[in-house]
A and B are shown apart, each in its own frame.
Chain A
Amino acid sequence: MAAHLKKRVYEEFTKVVQPQEEIATKKLRLTKPSKSAALHIDLCKATSPADALQYLLQFARKPVEAESVEGVVRILLEHYYKENDPSVRLKIASLLGLLSKTAGFSPDCIMDDAINILQNEKSHQVLAQLLDTLLAIGTKLPENQAIQMRLVDVACKHLTDTSHGVRNKCLQLLGNLGSLEKSVTKDAESLAARDVQKIIGDYFSDQDPRVRTAAIKAMLQLHERGLKLHQTIYNQACKLLSDDYEQVRSAAVQLIWVVSQLYPESIVPIPSSNEEIRLVDDAFGKICHMVSDGSWVVRVQAAKLLGSMEQVSSHFLEQTLDKKLMSDLRRKRTAHERAKELYSSGEFSSGRKWGDDAPKEEVDTGAVNLIESGACGAFVHGLEDEMYEVRIAAVEALCMLAQSSPSFAEKCLDFLVDMFNDEIEEVRLQSIHTMRKISNNITLREDQLDTVLAVLEDSSRDIREALHELLCCTNVSTKEGIHLALVELLKNLTKYPTDRDSIWKCLKFLGSRHPTLVLPLVPELLSTHPFFDTAEPDMDDPAYIAVLVLIFNAAKTCPTMPALFSDHTFRHYAYLRDSLSHLVPALRLPGRKLVSSAVSPSIIPQEDPSQQFLQQSLERVYSLQHLDPQGAQELLEFTIRDLQRLGELQSELAGVADFSATYLRCQLLLIKALQEKLWNIAAPLYLKQSDLASAAAKQIMEETYKMEFMYSGVENKQVVIIHHMRLQAKALQLIVTARTTRGLDPLFGMCEKFLQEVDFFQRYFIADLPHLQDSFVDKLLDLMPRLMTSKPAEVVKILQTMLRQSAFLHLPLPEQIHKASATIIEPAGESDNPLRFTSGLVVALDVDATLEHVQDPQNTVKVQVLYPDGQAQMIHPKPADFRNPGPGRHRLITQIYLSHTAWTEACQVEVRLLLAYNSSARIAKCPWMEGGEMSPQVETSIEGTIPFSKPVKVYIMPKPARR
């Protein structure tokens, strides 16, 4: 009440009228003393401008509520008129801008004042700041046409100011508020709109580069807001391309790009000739020219924009890769052309002779154009640029253009292949990815393949794996190519044995894409001989498996191939089909009717039956809920077993099967815990019995967290069911505690907490409640008023009966569901040599893991280290340590630091990956949770973790420090 009174005092003082509805509602709300009053007092106290400035700065640190903004603004304005010091006025102006941005405050009331003080202001800086404030006001009121017009007028008036800052802000204002041509175009309005463009256009030739930049930016802003720019701007913008200042050129390049997208087909004349070309081609040529600009900022900008100019004609596009070489005025062929020629002429050596690249025909001196007006060689320059930013931008642009034009893709291949040797790894990686993206359009020549494959020896794992991915989806033209690829991959395998899986996978695709090319190679690869039996290769040799993977995958679509296999090949097939089923497809093998009939029909059309099987078994479970407890238990156990096996067999169904199996397991646990006879005994439970039930409750909780957070693709429908299950587990826990503990005091708290949870559940899933007919929660909510008032013992009783009566809820299966999984590749945990380091200091351990189907790994994935003494340490990897090699897949490559006090001998520590979750973060999305200030903390906090990778043991040995 005191607070309320205090507030009233301040209100009267500041004359801010607030509706007094607090009496009606019972909500208690803490209110701070009004800001405006405090500010006024402070400002009056201030003796010098510096003081006032300090107060204002302090004031600006805290947010102001929407209802008191107006009062604050009045005070600020009042002070503004009195203030002589420009710096204080500047701060006030900026505060006005900030305040008018406050949500829920309509700034039209302060506009008049702002414009008013603008007219009397002398200081340029304050003027600029005031215009900024007006901009904030204007953007806050996008609907009010009259205000916008008025602001535009103000801006036009101040455009002639001598200070660049003021002109800048005016242009910005024009760009943001200049009226758009609406469908209802009155004459006046469309005139005004045209004027805005012309006015801004006039400032393209301002004397200050900053103003020129601002003018172009304003123009771009107009475009962004949907105003159609006039084509006349194109010529103006072209002139700006030769500006002295890089920011102007950079912005001009953007503007030209925008215009070229607006009017791609209109015709522009080529200066100093009678020809005309399409505007988009002309713009393309101009932007290409900027790729060799003096400033790298402009070069990056230009190279980036080139990628999105897809309408450009192919003639111009192909010029970008063409740089007419000459030597001593004689035409010379590029190395690419020579390589191509060598290849087509059948020769397979190069550069053995001096003068191999000797120039051929004479060049007509008149015809050589050293500075092309067109697009000549833009990409050649861009890809050779000094700054890697430019090179990356150029590679990206190449990628985008090649995706839209197959012929260009073919042409740019040589250049992309060259980029595989760039000095910066990022660029190499980017170009490999680019190549993969355009691989549908291209077929690699042998010499190109050769260069590509050379990169397989790269020591960077990322590069090698990207390259494997690339090889998965490339087309190779000849059988020699396939052979070469295989040989290089095997070489890679011997050099880097850790690449095994990636290489096998790569060969799988290589085989299935090129069955006819593999066919003639089979005898050689299997080293079979027409007359002699050869030795049987070692089945455990990764290289041999690699060859077999290639052959078997090719044989899938090439029925004649198995005839070439020798006996042991068939045996190996059977073995591999079983052990590496994801790499070896089912084959129709002659003379093996039994195997083939058993395997092949069941695999190829199997998807439907297995899906059906899954559905059926789940339905069986759900429908038979009225079985006696014993029967239900058995059924659940069987179904869980079936589902698990199904998940192992059918990788695409693994997610669903696991998910449902987990759910059923929870149910099974619940039934088991509840069906005990002991619940009927009124006496308190003895330890062993309660153990079982509380362990079940605990496990159910864990499993529900796994269900909620370890699967990607879980929808709200499932979340409800999962939460419901968790609620049941909590109820169980409550009952168990109630039955085992004596005394009521702790129970009170627990009951209350539980009821809160129920309440929370109801609020959060209010929309889904109708689906939960007859369930535990449904019944619980019916009895809610009674529960609220009952004693804990009674609550427990009610809960117990309800738990036993409640129906088993059907878990609807989501469309796509995948279980998150992680594999630690490194450390492999096989080393016998302990990692030695001085105790008290740290040792860095490289961790390399692949993550599948993890959403937002940057925030959720943690590394845990368990020391033998039970000490556990959680490490948060940096966001940059996560790579994203493909959809749904992530790669964690990081270093973790280990440290411990001295040990007498080496011991193993366990390293594993954890998935951190936080259930309130998910809930924070729902609308009734207010308070945007709270959420950031909520999101960062970790509620619990789920281990989701196999632990790896690392042998370490901290030695005592030597004196």
Chain B
Amino acid sequence: MCGAGFGHFRWLAGGGAGQDVGRSCILVSIAGKNVMLDCGMHMGFNDDRRFPDFSYITQNGRLTDFLDCVIISHFHLDHCGALPYFSEMVGYDGPIYMTHPTQAICPILLEDYRKIAVDKKGEANFFTSQMIKDCMKKVVAVHLHQTVQVDDELEIKAYYAGHVLGAAMFQIKVGSESVVYTGDYNMTPDRHLGAAWIDKCRPNLLITESTYATTIRDSKRCRERDFLKKVHETVERGGKVLIPVFALGRAQELCILLETFWERMNLKVPIYFSTGLTEKANHYYKLFIPWTNQKIRKTFVQRNMFEFKHIKAFDRAFADNPGPMVVFATPGMLHAGQSLQIFRKWAGNEKNMVIMPGYCVQGTVGHKILSGQRKLEMEGRQVLEVKMQVEYMSFSAHADAKGIMQLVGQAEPESVLLVHGEAKKMEFLKQKIEQELRVSCYMPANGETVTLPTSPSIPVGISLGLLKREMAQGLLPEAKKPRLLHGTLIMKDSNFRLVSSEQALKELGLAEHQLRFTCRVHLHDTRKEQETALRVYSHLKSILKDHCVQHLPDGSVTVESILIQAAAPSEDPGTKVLLVSWTYQDEELGSFLTSLLKKGLPQAPS
């Protein structure tokens, strides 16, 4: 009845590639409820492997019947890319939960992704625009810290996670059991978002990402300063700066960084942003001010920081303009598109500079130039000589090892589960978490199921009279300390009640039996029984100050209901036998007394 099944936990797909390209999809069963956390896709594959294998969830039967809800933590495609496929093509009609900004930005990204896959690469059997729209209709948007009742038992609650606009951590709770899923998060605030925060919710399990499991990062200020200094120096020299970025997330941070710097330093050099997608997204950034950091929240009344004064839309023709400029262009790894075009134009001039703000996958132009290659072969056997300066700046919005530990410390979970990272690195973090926080830690592989036993608390009803009576016995109500309470537990119709023994007897129609324990204690004492009894009396009196110790006229000593009698066994006049007798209610005191008496009496002061 009070079974300890936490159910089981399934790690469906993901891991492996690490960084931002893994597909996140986790299935959690908690107290009989099934929740799917994130529904990501893999950017590296163009075949079936790009989406998680949903047939794994349920071999037969509909997904909607099996899953109670789907939760999407943020709008990155490796966390939401498979959503239209999952809901429209595989078929899921249940609720999908995400935050408002995610709900707004997610379809833009999905649509963009679809365009590239279908229109450019000409793939068939891909989800359509209509499917994205239909899928978004199933979404239920949640606010931060809003407790959403999915059904009678299951409730979810979102916490701020930093990382990207609208990223959230989710607490999933059924009864007294709960899981927190962090998604991706960032513990250090940046120029446009705050730091992740969670209260001491003490979940049974914390599922955390661990991208930077083995890294402790330097202060972000040095990075920012370096970045600004490099850009500033280059434009002062009259050079052009190219910053390849992905459309959402880091791009906004860098924009704000440059914008405020331009404002502060009164610079007039133009800054351009190259993509239409961003304009649409920037619009949402302007709207979701409560999700940004303190500075933007405080100043948006005077001026919305996302209304960029210095940053204008880029036109293809601008690249040939003379004079200094700064251009943000997509994509971030210089493998195709506008950023590559601009790069080709500017690469020959040593006054110019390209700043790579993030990680580049092997094989891309970005990776090549970062590793120092100065001559690049382009299509058509062209050789491009790179004379421009190449800089690398790491602006990443994942928590580092310290940040992960900090979050675990904040939430105080019973156990931690690491996902979204490389196994080798996770091993290190796992060891640290177990060592320093003394919390059990798991790191399942793809497709592995972890089952966690829990010790759920079971509510028991107690009558007020009994509670008050028992409370009154102690000295002070000591908070947070277990107290001994005497009563009878009655289980009836699957509810529990604690009642006083008299009432229990009455209810069950039983007669009361007296139960007494007796015990003999041998004492080494040559004096008479009465005197021994008197000594026992004074000894107990001096020790048990809070109890009522009495010396009865018949020579026996009573402590509360405990009776102590001294007798002299005939065979040995040197020893006296103390007969201690107590009822089972006074078991605690009785056993204490016997052990006390066994130690012997103190030497008489004579």
B-binding residues in A (CB < 8 A): 160, 202, 205-208, 244, 292, 294, 323-329, 332, 334-336, 350-355, 365, 368-371, 377, 380, 383-388, 415, 418-419, 421-424, 451, 454, 457-460, 495
Evaluate whether A327 and B392 lie within 8 angstroms (CB atoms) in the complex, with A205-B478, A354-B371, A421-B224 already known. no
**In the assembled complex, how far is the CB of residue B375 from the closest CB belonging to chain A, in whole angstroms?**
16
Write the chain A residue with the least CB distance to B475.
Answer: A160
Q: Is the Cβ of A207 less than 8 Å from the Cβ of B432? A: no
- A208 vs B478: C-alpha distance in the bound complex, in angstroms? 11
Evaluate whether A458 and B402 lie within 8 angstroms (CB atoms) in the complex, with A205-B478, A335-B223, A368-B432 already known. no
Provide the residues of chain B in CB contact with A160, threshold 8 Å: 476-477
Evaluate whether A421 and B221 lie within 8 angstroms (CB atoms) in the complex, with A207-B477, A294-B199, A384-B188 already known. yes
- A244 vs B226: C-alpha distance in the bound complex, in angstroms? 40
**In the assembled complex, how far is the CB of residue A882 from the closest CB belonging to chain B, in whole angstroms?**
21
**In the assembled complex, how far is the CB of residue A399 from the closest CB belonging to chain B, in whole angstroms?**
17
Q: Is the Cβ of A370 less than 8 Å from the Cβ of B226? A: no
Using A160-B476, A323-B216, A353-B372 as known contacts, list a sample of 6 further A-B pairs with CB atoms less than 8 Å apart, ordered by residue number in A. Answer: A294-B200, A325-B218, A351-B230, A352-B391, A371-B402, A384-B188
The 7 A-B residue pairs with the shortest CB-CB distance, nearest first, are A207-B479, A335-B222, A386-B189, A418-B221, A354-B370, A457-B265, A329-B214
- A424 vs B215: C-alpha distance in the bound complex, in angstroms? 28
Provide the residues of chain B in CB contact with A371, threshold 8 Å: 402, 405-406, 409, 436-437
Query: Does residue B260 face the partner (Cβ distance < 8 Å to A)?
Result: yes
Q: Is the Cβ of B264 less than 8 Å from the Cβ of A460? A: yes
Provide the residues of chain A in CB contact with B541, threshold 8 Å: none
Evaluate whether A383 and B219 lie within 8 angstroms (CB atoms) in the complex, with A244-B200, A460-B264 already known. yes
**In the assembled complex, how far is the CB of residue A295 from the closest CB belonging to chain B, in whole angstroms?**
9
Provide the residues of chain B in CB contact with A388, threshold 8 Å: 294-295
Provide the residues of chain B in CB contact with A370, threshold 8 Å: 216, 401-402, 405, 432, 436
Neighbour of A325 across the interface among B217, B232, B409, CB < 8 A: B217
Write the chain B residue with the least CB distance to A376.
Answer: B402
Provide the residues of chain B in CB contact with A365, threshold 8 Å: 428, 431
- A336 vs B223: C-alpha distance in the bound complex, in angstroms? 11
**In the assembled complex, how far is the CB of residue B430 from the closest CB belonging to chain A, in whole angstroms?**
11
Write the chain B residue with the least CB distance to A450.
Answer: B229
Q: Is the Cβ of B370 less than 8 Å from the Cβ of A205? A: no
- A207 vs B195: C-alpha distance in the bound complex, in angstroms? 31
- A832 vs B479: C-alpha distance in the bound complex, in angstroms? 77
B374-412 at interface with A (beta carbon < 8 Å): 389-392, 401-402, 405-406, 409-410
Q: Is the Cβ of B218 less than 8 Å from the Cβ of A334? A: yes
Can you list 27 A-B contacts (CB < 8 A)?
A: A202-B476, A292-B406, A294-B197, A294-B410, A326-B216, A327-B216, A328-B214, A328-B425, A329-B428, A335-B218, A350-B226, A351-B391, A351-B392, A354-B371, A354-B390, A355-B371, A370-B401, A370-B405, A383-B221, A385-B195, A386-B189, A388-B294, A388-B295, A419-B221, A457-B264, A459-B264, A459-B266
Q: Is the Cβ of A327 less than 8 Å from the Cβ of B214? A: yes
Task: Tell me the interface secondary structure of chain A in the complex.
Answer: loop
Provide the residues of chain A in CB contact with B191, threshold 8 Å: 423
Q: Is the Cβ of A385 less than 8 Å from the Cβ of B189? A: yes
Q: Is the Cβ of B266 less than 8 Å from the Cβ of A423? A: no
**In the assembled complex, how far is the CB of residue B473 from the closest CB belonging to chain A, in whole angstroms?**
14
- A459 vs B261: C-alpha distance in the bound complex, in angstroms? 10
Provide the residues of chain B in CB contact with A354, threshold 8 Å: 370-372, 390, 392
A-binding residues in B (CB < 8 A): 188-189, 191, 194-195, 197-200, 214-226, 228-230, 232, 260, 263-266, 293-295, 370-372, 389-392, 401-402, 405-406, 409-410, 425, 428, 431-432, 436-437, 476-481
Interface centre among A292, A351, A352, A386 (most CB of B within 10 A): A386
Provide the residues of chain B in CB contact with A208, threshold 8 Å: 479
Provide the residues of chain B in CB contact with A323, threshold 8 Å: 216, 218-219, 402
Provide the residues of chain B in CB contact with A326, threshold 8 Å: 214-216, 401
Provide the residues of chain A in CB contact with B265, threshold 8 Å: 457-459
**In the assembled complex, how far is the CB of residue B347 from the closest CB belonging to chain A, in whole angstroms?**
16
Q: Is the Cβ of B221 less than 8 Å from the Cβ of A459? A: no
- A355 vs B405: C-alpha distance in the bound complex, in angstroms? 27
**In the assembled complex, how far is the CB of residue B165 from the closest CB belonging to chain A, in whole angstroms?**
15
- A355 vs B224: C-alpha distance in the bound complex, in angstroms? 17
Provide the residues of chain B in CB contact with A350, threshold 8 Å: 226
Provide the residues of chain A in CB contact with B389, threshold 8 Å: 352
- A130 vs B128: C-alpha distance in the bound complex, in angstroms? 72
- A460 vs B480: C-alpha distance in the bound complex, in angstroms? 54
Q: Is the Cβ of A334 less than 8 Å from the Cβ of B222? A: yes
Write the chain B residue with the least CB distance to A459.
Answer: B266
Q: Is the Cβ of A369 less than 8 Å from the Cβ of B436? A: yes
Write the chain A residue with the least CB distance to B261.
Answer: A421
Write the chain A residue with the least CB distance to B296.
Answer: A423
Write the chain B residue with the least CB distance to A458.
Answer: B264
**In the assembled complex, how far is the CB of residue A944 from the closest CB belonging to chain B, in whole angstroms?**
38
- A383 vs B219: C-alpha distance in the bound complex, in angstroms? 9
- A386 vs B372: C-alpha distance in the bound complex, in angstroms? 36
Neighbour of B294 across the interface among A244, A353, A386, CB < 8 A: A386
Write the chain B residue with the least CB distance to A496.
Answer: B266
- A336 vs B226: C-alpha distance in the bound complex, in angstroms? 11
Write the chain A residue with the least CB distance to B356.
Answer: A354
Q: Is the Cβ of A386 less than 8 Å from the Cβ of B431? A: no
Provide the residues of chain B in CB contact with A380, threshold 8 Å: 219
**In the assembled complex, how far is the CB of residue A417 from the closest CB belonging to chain B, in whole angstroms?**
8
Provide the residues of chain A in CB contact with B428, threshold 8 Å: 329, 365
Q: Is the Cβ of A351 less than 8 Å from the Cβ of B226? A: yes
Evaluate whether A421 and B197 lie within 8 angstroms (CB atoms) in the complex, with A205-B479, A354-B371, A369-B436 already known. no
- A292 vs B399: C-alpha distance in the bound complex, in angstroms? 14
Provide the residues of chain A in CB contact with B264, threshold 8 Å: 457-460
- A421 vs B372: C-alpha distance in the bound complex, in angstroms? 30
Interface centre among A206, A335, A365, A371 (most CB of B within 10 A): A371
**In the assembled complex, how far is the CB of residue B201 from the closest CB belonging to chain A, in whole angstroms?**
10
Q: Is the Cβ of B219 less than 8 Å from the Cβ of A328? A: no
Write the chain A residue with the least CB distance to B393.
Answer: A351
Q: Is the Cβ of B222 less than 8 Å from the Cβ of A418? A: yes
Q: Is the Cβ of A495 less than 8 Å from the Cβ of B225? A: no
Provide the residues of chain A in CB contact with B189, threshold 8 Å: 384-386
Provide the residues of chain B in CB contact with A325, threshold 8 Å: 216-218
- A56 vs B4: C-alpha distance in the bound complex, in angstroms? 60
- A351 vs B389: C-alpha distance in the bound complex, in angstroms? 10
Provide the residues of chain A in CB contact with B294, threshold 8 Å: 386-388
Q: Is the Cβ of A386 less than 8 Å from the Cβ of B476? A: no
**In the assembled complex, how far is the CB of residue B41 from the closest CB belonging to chain A, in whole angstroms?**
27
Q: Is the Cβ of A328 less than 8 Å from the Cβ of B215? A: yes
**In the assembled complex, how far is the CB of residue B33 from the closest CB belonging to chain A, in whole angstroms?**
27
Evaluate whether A418 and B476 lie within 8 angstroms (CB atoms) in the complex, with A335-B218, A354-B390 already known. no
- A423 vs B370: C-alpha distance in the bound complex, in angstroms? 30
Write the chain A residue with the least CB distance to B187.
Answer: A292
Provide the residues of chain B in CB contact with A336, threshold 8 Å: 222
Provide the residues of chain A in CB contact with B409, threshold 8 Å: 371
**In the assembled complex, how far is the CB of residue A348 from the closest CB belonging to chain B, in whole angstroms?**
13
Provide the residues of chain A in CB contact with B217, threshold 8 Å: 325
- A385 vs B392: C-alpha distance in the bound complex, in angstroms? 25
- A596 vs B480: C-alpha distance in the bound complex, in angstroms? 85
Neighbour of A386 across the interface among B215, B228, B293, CB < 8 A: B293
Q: Is the Cβ of A206 less than 8 Å from the Cβ of B219? A: no
Neighbour of A459 across the interface among B188, B232, B263, CB < 8 A: B263
- A569 vs B198: C-alpha distance in the bound complex, in angstroms? 68
- A386 vs B191: C-alpha distance in the bound complex, in angstroms? 10
- A415 vs B219: C-alpha distance in the bound complex, in angstroms? 9
Q: Is the Cβ of A384 less than 8 Å from the Cβ of B405? A: no
Provide the residues of chain A in CB contact with B392, threshold 8 Å: 351, 354-355
- A721 vs B389: C-alpha distance in the bound complex, in angstroms? 75
Provide the residues of chain A in CB contact with B479, threshold 8 Å: 205-208
Interface centre among B221, B409, B432, B437 (most CB of A within 10 A): B221
**In the assembled complex, how far is the CB of residue A393 from the closest CB belonging to chain B, in whole angstroms?**
14
Write the chain B residue with the least CB distance to A324.
Answer: B216
Evaluate whether A386 and B437 lie within 8 angstroms (CB atoms) in the complex, with A205-B480, A459-B263, A460-B264 already known. no
**In the assembled complex, how far is the CB of residue B317 from the closest CB belonging to chain A, in whole angstroms?**
31
